Structure 1
Amino acid sequence: MPRSDLPPATASAPIEARLQEIVFPDHTNHLGTLFGGQALAWMDKAAFIAATRYSRRTVVTARSEQVDFRLPIRQGQLVETIARVVEVGRTSMQVDVELVAEDLLSGERETCTRGRFVMIALDSRGRPVAVDPLPG
């Protein structure tokens, strides 16, 4: 018998979320590049959305792992934050996130930052709850 606190399972649950932002002066450090804390906030937000859409549950961040800041992202660039659910445990989802900077005038795009976030699904009482495995 199905439990009433579980959302209906769906085979077509989205595993990806994409967000876009422009790097404005209030997002930058003293060098005119994206402040690392702002990058992490955008990455965490995208991981949250991807995990929530996949699980259709309330989720919280359990951990961020191995965030690599490879290239600076400059003021005025468009940043696309791409988050993908790549692994699912019993109650956790691992979400890979990348920041891709785009020069709006030339169209040149570069992946600048990558990281992995572990998100935990919660039930209505705030306790970890099982998540459906990734399809196929």
Structure 2
Amino acid sequence: MNDPTLPLPEARLLEMVFPDHTNHLGTLFGGQALAWMDKAAFIVASRHARRIVVTARSEEVNFRVPVRKGQLVELVARIVQVGRSSMHVEVEMTAEDPLTGDRRICTTGRFVMIALDSNGASTHVPALNAQ
């Protein structure tokens, strides 16, 4: 059973939005946002499972506000549920104007990551807060 007093496993990443990450409007490509979110989910799941992990599914990705060229992006990935071999990871992406400090949640999503053994078969992962 999960202990609600213990923090959920988490990973944080920072990225800078450069021109090659943007579309013709100067806003972050959706595919780039998804790649960064998947990377954050991969890191937190790998740390928790201490196994090879792969992405099984991305769910409910919501693009709330555009991210502009020159902004910083902070990604926070948290494992919110664990199955036998699966980990459900919620990722929140916040855009920050580096000159003003204005921060806005721009994108949220949920990813399902699967732990694999050395033969590529799904394998058991620890329960939440059992580390």
TM-score (norm 1): 0.88
CA-to-aligned-CA distance 1:14-43 (integer Å, 9 cap, x gap): 711111111000000111000000000000
Match in the other structure for 2:62: 68
Gaps of at least 5 residues in structure 2 are 1-5
Match in the other structure for 1:9: none
Match in the other structure for 1:90: 84
> Is 1:44 paired with 2:38?
yes
Structure 1: distance between partners of 2:129 and 2:32: 33
Structure 1: distance between partners of 2:17 and 2:83: 35
Gaps of at least 5 residues in structure 1 are 1-11
1:60 match: secondary structure: strand
1:37 match: secondary structure: helix
Structure 1: distance between partners of 2:93 and 2:69: 14
Structure 2: distance between partners of 1:135 and 1:48: 18
Match in the other structure for 1:125: 119
Q: Identify which of structures 1 and 2 has the higher relative contact order when contacts are C-alpha pairs closer than 8 Å and 6+ apart.
A: 2
Structure 1: distance between partners of 2:11 and 2:114: 17
Task: Spell out structure 1 runs of 4+ moving beyond 2 A.
Answer: none
Match in the other structure for 2:26: 32
Question: How many angstroms does 1:119 deviate by?
Answer: 0.1
Superposed CA RMSD in Å reads 1.6
TM-score (norm 2): 0.92
Structure 2: distance between partners of 1:80 and 1:18: 7
Question: How many angstroms does 1:62 deviate by?
Answer: 0.1
Larger Rg: 1
1:43 match: secondary structure: helix
Q: Any residues of structure 2 matched to 1:76-115 within 5 Å, and which?
A: 76-115=70-109
Instruction: State, as a whole percentage, how many aligned pairs show the same letter.
Output: 69
